[in-house]
Amino acid sequence: MEISSAARRDLHRLPEKVAAAVAEFITGPLAEAPARVSKPLRNELSPYRSARRGDYRVLIRIDDAADTVLVVRIDHRSHVYRSP
């Protein structure tokens, strides 16, 4: 599991309670089974997947060849899908 610098910045901007819940989600269920807890996105966001945590979304990219998951963005659902 890798977290991009933009995602780290996003995490620090979240309210404390939300940030703690999202961090726990990233290191728990998302790290264990990323494809299971996320859904593929379409159109220009097709390389990414979206995982829900309350009203917030975690955008990830799964690289099967390298066996890694990159957290690209973390934001409220009304803002996260605007070009990462």
Mean pLDDT to the nearest integer, 49-66: 95
pLDDT of residue 65: 87
Q: Are 71 and 60 in contact (CB under 8 A)?
A: yes
Quote the pTM value.
0.92
Question: Would you state the structure tokens that stand for residue 65, as one six-digit string?
Answer: 């060849």
- Please report the domains of the chain, with CATH numbers, ordered by start residue: 2-76 (3.30.2310.20)
8 Å CB contact between 80 and 74:
yes
Q: Is 30 helix (H, G, I), strand (E, B) or coil?
A: helix
d(CA 21, CA 84): 22
